Amino acid sequence: MSLDIGPIKIDDPVFLAPMSGVTDQPFRKLVKRYGAGLVFSEMIASRLMLQQGAPSFKSNTDYREECPIAVQLAGCEPDVMAEAAKINVGRGAAIIDINFGCPVKKIVNSYAGSALMRDEMLAAKIMEHTVKAVDVPVTVKMRLGWNEQSINAPRLARIAQDIGIRMITVHGRTRNQMYKGQADWDAVSAVKKAVNIPVIVNGDILGPAEALRAREASGADGVMIGRGAYGKPWVIRQTMDYFRQGYTDTNPALPEIAALVQEHYEDMLHHYGRHLGVSIARKHLSWYCSGLHGANQLRRDINKEQDPATVRQMMESYFSQLQERVANGQSWREQSSPPDLGKNEPQNAE
């Protein structure tokens, strides 16, 4: 089960989805360490990137040490998208991914993201300009259509293939569905039948079991995991193992998770700076602890704390208490389902 994205060969096409506020460099590094077919950056607004001038954490990242990485761009101006693509290739992007799928209102209202599925001529110009601007493969991520009355993903995929797009990822919902209901993996099969380039299925794939069902239902060449990776950077590797050998290892042991959480926290503080890092790290810490004993109280305490040293102490104490439970023969996991993470959920989840 391998595929080629232009000259780039992917042996295990299980990908980390582009997720705003989640797939930053610290998180991507952890995912790649465990293993991933390919990781995607957060969505980058192309015009904002060009207008900023001064460096920013999201748009001024050097990707060379992460190669291969796909950088996702959003925008509605062909020339601007092309220029942003060239800049990111210069920073080490191995693939440029165009966002035709983001359903968030502020993106759609700027005529970008999934709004472009309603304007196939403009979408085609954006793809054409971007493909001509760079010498690396260009891919596209889209939804099934704007709504159930305008399912045009197969037609837009054919247009993309004719222009020179090298891979299509389809989230199995329309824009108007946002993230409600269930992703329709069967509907993605129409896109697969429409083109000869690789097709990746996305949406509601939380781990190996869903990945297998999504691939079988869609006939896709690979899968993309988004929300399933929250607090579980190892889930991509587990899914790759499952496809290769029919089974996968269990989740990491408690000491490994504790060390991983502390390392991730320190990397976020280094990457974003003390003040911003503390704020951004909260959702990740909550996801890591979701379903673990006493996590609800820990989450409340962390969300109120501004001092990173105190947060470190909280996490060390928390995992020490879990280790004591293990030593006493008690479970370190809650017996009930994990709580809804609510406000920690990114808007552009996948």
Quote the pLDDT of residue 247: 85
Does residue 349 sit within a domain? no
| Inside any domain, residue 173 | yes
Residues 12 and 148 in one domain: yes
Question: Does residue 350 lie within any of the structural domains?
Answer: no
Instruction: Say whether both 34 and 116 belong to one domain.
Output: yes
Number of structural domains (the chain) is 2
- Tell whether 63 and 175 lie within a shared domain: yes
For residue 298, give every residue at least 6 positions away whose Cβ sits within 8 Å of its Cβ, in sequence order, or none: 289, 314, 318
- pTM of the full predicted structure? 0.91
Alpha-carbon span 33 to 25, nearest angstrom: 12
Asked if residue 309 and residue 241 are part of one domain, the reply reads: no
- 67 as an active site residue: the answer is no
Tell me, yes or no, whether 241 and 263 share the same domain: no
Q: What is the pLDDT of residue 49?
A: 84
Q: Tell me, what's the pLDDT at 345? A: 42
My answer on whether omega of the bond before 339 falls inside 30° of 0, hence cis, is no
**Of the residues 210, 245, 280, the one at which a domain ends:** 245
- Domain boundary pick from 245, 268, 303: 245
Residues 50 and 196 in one domain: yes
Per the domain annotation, does 104 fall within a domain?
yes
My answer on whether 241 and 264 are in the same domain is no
Could you list the residues known to form a binding site, using ranges.
72, 141, 171, 226-227
pLDDT averages per 10-residue partition of the chain, 350 residues: 92 95 94 94 90 57 87 95 95 96 86 91 98 98 93 97 98 91 96 98 96 97 96 96 88 92 96 93 94 90 94 95 90 60 45
Domain identity same for 27 and 116: yes
* CB-based contact 78:138 (threshold 8 Å): no
Q: Residue 122: give the domain boundaries.
A: 3-245
Distance of CA 124 to the CA centre of its chain: 24
| d(C-alpha 24, C-alpha 264), whole Å | 11
Given 67, 76, 102, 289, which residue is catalytic?
A: 102
Q: Are residues 129 and 29 in the same domain?
A: yes
- pLDDT for the residue numbered 207: 94
Sign of CA dihedral 11, 12, 14, 15: negative
CB 190 within 8 A of CB 179: no
Tell me the pLDDT tens digit for each residue of 308-339.
999 999 999 999 999 999 888 888 887 654 43
DSSP secondary structure string for all residues of 284-330: HHHHHHTTBTTHHHHHHHHHH---HHHHHHHHHHHHHHHHHHHHTT-
* 96 assigned to some structural domain: yes
Tell me, yes or no, whether 9 and 79 share the same domain: yes
Identity at 210, one-letter amino acid code: E
Tokens (6 digits) for 129: 């300009």
Q: Report the binding-site residues for FMN.
A: 72, 141, 171, 226-227
Q: Which of 245, 269, 289 finishes a domain?
A: 245
Do 55 and 10 share a structural domain?
yes
Q: What is the number of other CB atoms lying within 10 angstroms of the CB of residue 118?
A: 16
> What pLDDT was estimated at residue 47?
87
Q: Is residue 56 part of a domain?
A: yes
